[in-house]
Structure 1
Amino acid sequence: MEAASDSESIEFSKELQSQTHTILSSNDNSPMEILFSHFFNTNNNRSSQQQHSHSLTFFQCCKKHHPHLLFIKLIFLLRCSPTATTRANAARAILFLKPSHLWPKLNPTAQAHLKAHLIQFLKEETSLHVIRLASLVTAETVSAIYNCNNRYQQHWPEIFSFILSALASNDDKFLEVALLILSALPKRCRLMLSDHNRSLHGYLLTTLSSTNPDVKTASFSVVVSLVCLFYEPSLFHDLLRAMMVGVFALLHGYEGSYFRKAFKELINLVSEEPSLLKPYMSDMVLDVLQIAENSGLSKGTHCLAFELVMAMTGLKEFESVLVNLEYDVMVRVFKVLMNMLMCVEEDTKRDSEAEVKGEVESEVDVYKFGMKCLNQICVTFGGSKVVAVAHHVLKICMDSSEWKMRHAGITMLVVIAKQFSDEMVLSENFLGEVVTTVLKSFQDSHVQVRLAAFNFMETPSHFVQVAHVLYHHKLMHAFAIAIDNGHNDKVKEQAASAMLFFLKNTLPESLTLYKNPDTVMTKLLSLLQGKESAKQRSLALSAFNIVAQQCQAIGHRRQFGELEFVQSLEHHSSSLLSIVTWILSELSILIQAQNHSLTTNAKVHDIAVSALGRICEFHRDSIDGSRIVPSWLSLLPLKEDLIEAKVMHEQLCLMVSR
């Protein structure tokens, strides 16, 4: 909900102005309670929305025409209402309307009375929920007082006396109130406490070690808010040590929300005061790892802890320290990231989980967060260090019996290959070991590991290009096995895609030197003539064409097989629309080939012309018939293949009759 900051520009009727004045001046509080119930109603039905709109208009009118009465009425309800709900709603309304807008509208006498009422209220209120809201009201009122430009404006030294006396007490309620006010004070007011920095230092050490989690957590916010008072190294050292002890106490002894709130304040401290924290950075990384490695904690807690490291990676002050972390620490960092990447969804579960996605939207996407962290860590630490650590961690991942860990290892390779290809190639034995690992993963027992391995071999990186050249014979053999192995269509498709990527990017000699290209052609033809998806057949056809061009002798022998597939186009009319244009260009090459007098080539020529006729018949909506059909007619009649000649004659008669 946003404050009604535009109320000054709205015109309100005289009747509404009179009505608001009557309600604000009345001793009957029930109209205000009804307005609260309408304004803070969380229902989204039409009636509730209308009631909310009417109550908002009421408050906007009050703020514009009766701001002093409005503030006094709300403070009165906060101070005197017998019901905690009304007192809480009064505080929420003040925060919504902003004390900084209302306070200057009061005369000095009213201001003095309200100050006294607020302090007395803070001493007497028994509801923790109400007093927490009132603490924020008090802090915003302090801000309004000390930011006012009126030279006759009063100040409020009594509130600072109240805060210091509350911190000196042993009452948890007073301690929390004082801490909440301090954490919300504007910077100008914080500096006014500089004369009390040593007293505040002692109080905060006490509250950070409190057994009350609300007091302990509120202390974290105050340290971040008042850190400008504790730049002296000894003072800050004591507070930071107390915060680290306190955060572990909250982690293991209380509800998780306390730890999350306190740790977020620790992250804020790192972001706001990097120079102050630089000497402690290495120790804080170790503390983070201690949390992130604890299998007894939730994945969300692991991610929150690692956000501290991520905050460090984004700050120049920490770069030199991070780069110089010990090797063992870096290995631990990468192991934590691998555990995050293990949160990948299994394909078989994705459809069912999509149905309940709305129920878990608030949960942390651990896999996505892990990928983000891995990318950022690579940028921060640099190639030489990352590759050395990744080399070590990859072995651990791929030796795991858990498929998700093996998948995480391949995923790490994809990220690193994109950023540090040259370092990977130059690293001793790393290139060969990665290729061996990937080839082994082509035959992994789990589908998603196989998919990840084929996907890695399509990474547009220098590392993969070098692997294509140096290990072409192993890769070609592995691809040939992969496209003919297993029953998972998705894996076959990804394997065919990786094979095509390899064929397009490797040296032509890689194929001519391969000992068994005939086997590859046979397997590609089996894909073309099978019941695979249109995309899979398109990939196979493209791969077949490349192999045929580079291994012409074998390609020539296989042209009949390819053309037999093309001749069956009428059975695949819908699934092959995307490759009809490509097929036309290939047929054109065959038809225009030299040496038609040779029996074999003449046979190929006639089959190609026959295939072209089938395209003219069954795919006329996908081609330029005015250009293709005349070209086809010019090639008739067929002479070498009498069977095809008869088929073409019948087809031509059928087309003419239409």
Structure 2
Amino acid sequence: MDSEFPSELQSKAFEVLSSNDNTAMETLFSHLYSPQPQYRSQALTFLHCCKHHHPDLLFIKLFFLLHSSPLIQTRANAARALHSLKPEELWPKLRPVAQARLKDHFVIYLAQEPSIHVLRLASLVLAETVSVAYKTHQNWPEILDFLLSSIASNDDNSREVAALVFAKLPNDSRFLIFNALREKDDAVRLLHVSFLRSLASSNPDVQVASFAAVVSLSRLFSEPSLFHELLRAIMVGVFTLLHGFEGSYFRIAFAELINLVSQEPLLLKPYLNDVVLDVLQIAESDRVSQESHCLAFELVMSMTDLKDCEYVFVNLPCQTVQRLLSVPMKMLQCFAEDDAERESEGEKVDVHEFGMKCLKKLFVTFGESKVVPAAYEVLRIHFDDAEWKMRHAGITALSVIGKEFSDEMVLMENFLREAVNSVLKLFDDSHVEVRLAAFNFMETPTNFVQAVQILYHHRFVHAFCIALYKDEDHKVKEQAASAMLFFLKNTLPESLTLNKNVDTVMGKLLSLLEEKESDKQRSIALSTFNIVAQQCHEVVHKQYANFLPFLLEACNDKNSEIKEEAIRGIRVCAEFGTPQLKPFINRIISELSIIMKDRNGSLTEIQIDSNEKVHDIAVSALGRICEFHRECIDGSKIVPTWLSFLPLKNDLIEAKVMHEQLCLMVARLDMDLLGAGNQNLVKIIAVFLEVIDKGDKLATEQTINQMNTLLRQLARHLPRSGFDTILLSLNAQERELLLPLVS
């Protein structure tokens, strides 16, 4: 072990620690707390060498500096260093005689130290030293007597330091120290009286230190009357700190109250209902900051995590549940600009995010039977409020509730109907953010929204169309278009057909394409066209002629999403055999040829991936033209061209469609596909083999089975010489795949 640090460094450590000159240690402190990393690193290495090889000398040296240095900064640094080096690891390395002397000096030091700043740092060291002493079976009654007399004194510094020591006692030694205190006559009663006085102190430092001490020693006061008095003193102290001093004191004190609830729920069990009501009083107050609201509500959140607190939430009356839900709803009214303003004022909390977290937790805690009726009343108030942030919070909360309790919301009488009326009203709200949130809500994938789609289809499609026509804000138009796309994607074809608003929808999509306000709005419009065209192709036939010019223009767009949707639109038009396509066939083939040939160019990796997908859709569009518009093209040239781009590997949906089409064409002996003298047969077989080799990735199981059947049929019906010619035309891997299939 001696080789862990160089012998030269060990010698230097011994020299510094045993010297009466403190200059080297003061220099070490300046390096240890230097902003320059290299100095800090060197100082830490030296200290750890001291700890490893001379732990007793190190502890004595640091305590000597803490006790005797005339410089406050040196004494403070000595306390910091002792704490960081962990007294519980150093103390056992001291000889018993050294431990005894240090115990005596500790008491003297605490009585004499004039700086409260240094005493606060020293309290950490003392708490850990007391802890290790009792864990190693060393009684230290003198320090307990000193702490008891200090907490009972009239000197604020003494009371604060004693409270801090009690507060910082490590968990693993508290039981031993509790027993030692109980053995002292009237120690528990003395502590109880002293803490009641300190919790009511006009000195906030004494108050917050006492908060932490009571939490640390709470098991000492398990007798109900004692604990009840302390808890009420704590709650009174919380309100005093909240209204009488700067926020930092309240934050520290309330954090300790949260610790108490988390650590001792059984002790608090009889009082938890009152605690919830007290927290609500803080969280609802307009006279405190949002950060204080959040901190107060953090206590409720900590209770939701504890099994021992379940009964509290189960038994809360509906009115209290509504009040609890209203607090995070109020937090949802905070927006980015509000958070930025608070951060500039020193409050670093994302109130809106915290409100969302609280709302979700409360929903889970209360369950659907309590949440939905309570939320119903709270949301009605928010939706009808004149303040736009209230309405925005309402629609935001509705989306959260919808994700958790859709079924209950749908089944509850009036909820669905009133929610629908409110959302439709918010589509036309006077504030942009509310309209955006309302349209965004319609994209939440919940049973609630699905029920709305089925039961109120015509009302919502009509409202979307109005927004696309009437709303002047580009973002709202975009969000409305996106909501309509989501809506139509998840609507059954029968619903679309039963409602013929299809003409209205197509007209609005056409106007969006004509306006060209944003890339995203032109992509959503094209995607929506494709959805409607596929589900209601008979109805939209007459619209194809209006849309095809836009689709062709968009084929050359730099935006890959727009290009992709445009080519998919051409594929849809071709697939449903509309006669309006005929005048555009030559131009379509020209555009598709350019796209299929220019696959990569000088593109980034992401663009190449996107371009490959666009390529596959273009091949699919060409394939549909070959299948459904053969009379408009030269099949002997175009069909082999289409074949040359197979198999497709990038857009797996289009790949499965095209490979199925290839099978159908081979099965019916399509002459344009096979070519003169079956010259394209080798290519067809090669495509089949590659698709079969990829399993169900590029084709359905049915298509793969059909390909196997067709290959066996070809092998049976071809002359041996023809089959041998085909084998010679295939590469080794293809031959290896083919022969087992046809043998």
Q: Report if the CA contact (8 A) 1:606-1:638 is conserved.
A: no
Q: How does 1:309-320 map to 2 (within 5 A)?
A: 309-320=300-311
1:65 aligns to what? Answer: 53
Q: Report if the CA contact (8 A) 1:387-1:420 is conserved.
A: yes
Question: Deviation of residue 524 (structure 1)?
Answer: 1.2
Question: Deviation of residue 376 (structure 1)?
Answer: 0.3
1:545 aligns to what? Answer: 530
Cα distance in 2 for partners of 1:38, 1:482 equals 66
SS at match of 2:70: coil
Cα distance in 2 for partners of 1:570, 1:385 equals 54
Of 38, 41, 56 in structure 2, the residue corresponding to residue 50 of structure 1 is 38
1:17 aligns to what? Answer: 10
2:332 aligns to what? Answer: 341
1:396 aligns to what? Answer: 381
Q: Report if the CA contact (8 A) 1:108-1:154 is conserved.
A: no
> Quick one: structure 1 residues 268 and 633, their matched pair in 2 at CA, closer, same or farther if it must change by over 3 Å?
closer
Q: Indicate yes or no: 2:347 matched with 1:366.
A: no
1:604 aligns to what? Answer: 581
Question: Deviation of residue 18 (structure 1)?
Answer: 2.1
> Quick one: structure 1 residues 29 and 87, their matched pair in 2 at CA, closer, same or farther if it must change by over 3 Å?
same
Question: Deviation of residue 583 (structure 1)?
Answer: 3.1
Q: How does 1:367-516 map to 2 (within 5 A)?
A: 367-514=352-499, 516=501
> Quick one: structure 1 residues 632 and 556, their matched pair in 2 at CA, closer, same or farther if it must change by over 3 Å?
closer
Q: Report if the CA contact (8 A) 1:573-1:619 is conserved.
A: no
SS at match of 1:458: coil
Q: Report if the CA contact (8 A) 2:551-2:566 is conserved.
A: no
Cα distance in 2 for partners of 1:498, 1:10 equals 70
Q: How does 1:133-282 map to 2 (within 5 A)?
A: 133-148=121-136, 154-185=138-169, 186-187=173-174, 188-195=176-183, 196-282=187-273
Cα distance in 1 for partners of 2:461, 2:544 equals 21
Q: Report if the CA contact (8 A) 1:549-1:555 is conserved.
A: no
> Quick one: structure 1 residues 361 and 544, their matched pair in 2 at CA, closer, same or farther if it must change by over 3 Å?
farther
Cα distance in 2 for partners of 1:66, 1:250 equals 46
Q: Which has the higher contact order (CA 8 A, sep 6+)?
A: 1
Cα distance in 2 for partners of 1:9, 1:342 equals 63
> Quick one: structure 1 residues 74 and 477, their matched pair in 2 at CA, closer, same or farther if it must change by over 3 Å?
same
Of 618, 623, 627 in structure 1, the residue corresponding to residue 615 of structure 2 is 623
Q: Indicate yes or no: 2:572 matched with 1:586.
A: yes
Cα distance in 1 for partners of 2:557, 2:110 equals 80
Of 284, 291, 313 in structure 1, the residue corresponding to residue 282 of structure 2 is 291
1:651 aligns to what? Answer: none
Question: Deviation of residue 361 (structure 1)?
Answer: 9.6
1:106 aligns to what? Answer: 94
Sequence identity, in percent?
Answer: 55
Cα distance in 1 for partners of 2:26, 2:217 equals 38
- Cα deviation code 1:172-230 (max 9, x no counterpart): 11111211111122312233212422222122111111111111111111111111111
TM-score where L is the length of structure 2:
0.77
Which moved further from structure 2: 577-586 or 115-124? 577-586
> Quick one: structure 1 residues 298 and 530, their matched pair in 2 at CA, closer, same or farther if it must change by over 3 Å?
same
Which moved further from structure 2: 572-581 or 304-313? 572-581
Q: How does 1:125-136 map to 2 (within 5 A)?
A: 125-136=113-124
1:598 aligns to what? Answer: none
Cα distance in 1 for partners of 2:621, 2:303 equals 65
Of 297, 315, 332 in structure 2, the residue corresponding to residue 324 of structure 1 is 315
Cα distance in 2 for partners of 1:630, 1:578 equals 16
Q: How does 1:76-95 map to 2 (within 5 A)?
A: 76-95=64-83
Question: Deviation of residue 412 (structure 1)?
Answer: 0.5
Cα distance in 1 for partners of 2:99, 2:320 equals 58
Q: Report if the CA contact (8 A) 2:119-2:161 is conserved.
A: yes
TM-score where L is the length of structure 1:
0.87
Which moved further from structure 2: 101-110 or 604-613? 604-613
Which moved further from structure 2: 548-557 or 94-103? 548-557
Cα distance in 1 for partners of 2:252, 2:547 equals 66
Q: Report if the CA contact (8 A) 2:32-2:44 is conserved.
A: yes
Q: Report if the CA contact (8 A) 1:496-1:536 is conserved.
A: yes
Question: Deviation of residue 532 (structure 1)?
Answer: 3.5
Q: Report if the CA contact (8 A) 1:566-1:611 is conserved.
A: no
CA RMSD of aligned residues (A): 2.6
Cα distance in 1 for partners of 2:303, 2:559 equals 55
SS at match of 1:623: helix
Question: Deviation of residue 430 (structure 1)?
Answer: 1.1
Question: Deviation of residue 631 (structure 1)?
Answer: 8.6
Paired amino acid for 1:426: L
Cα distance in 2 for partners of 1:136, 1:613 equals 80
Question: Deviation of residue 393 (structure 1)?
Answer: 1.2
Cα distance in 2 for partners of 1:32, 1:561 equals 86
Q: Report if the CA contact (8 A) 1:205-1:242 is conserved.
A: yes
Question: Deviation of residue 549 (structure 1)?
Answer: 4.4
Paired amino acid for 1:121: Y
Q: How does 1:516-531 map to 2 (within 5 A)?
A: 516-531=501-516
Cα distance in 2 for partners of 1:557, 1:570 equals 21
5+ residue gaps in structure 2? 600-613, 634-743
Question: Deviation of residue 76 (structure 1)?
Answer: 1.0
Question: Deviation of residue 357 (structure 1)?
Answer: 11
Which moved further from structure 2: 497-506 or 568-577? 568-577
> Quick one: structure 1 residues 570 and 276, their matched pair in 2 at CA, closer, same or farther if it must change by over 3 Å?
closer
Question: Deviation of residue 299 (structure 1)?
Answer: 0.8
Q: Report if the CA contact (8 A) 2:407-2:448 is conserved.
A: yes
SS at match of 1:460: coil
Q: Which ranges of 4 or more aligned residues in structure 1 deviate by more than 6 Å?
A: 356-362, 625-637
5+ residue gaps in structure 1? 1-7, 594-600, 640-658
Paired amino acid for 1:418: K
Cα distance in 1 for partners of 2:622, 2:299 equals 69
> Quick one: structure 1 residues 183 and 32, their matched pair in 2 at CA, closer, same or farther if it must change by over 3 Å?
same
Cα distance in 1 for partners of 2:568, 2:2 equals 66
- Cα deviation code 1:627-656 (max 9, x no counterpart): 9779979968959xxxxxxxxxxxxxxxxx
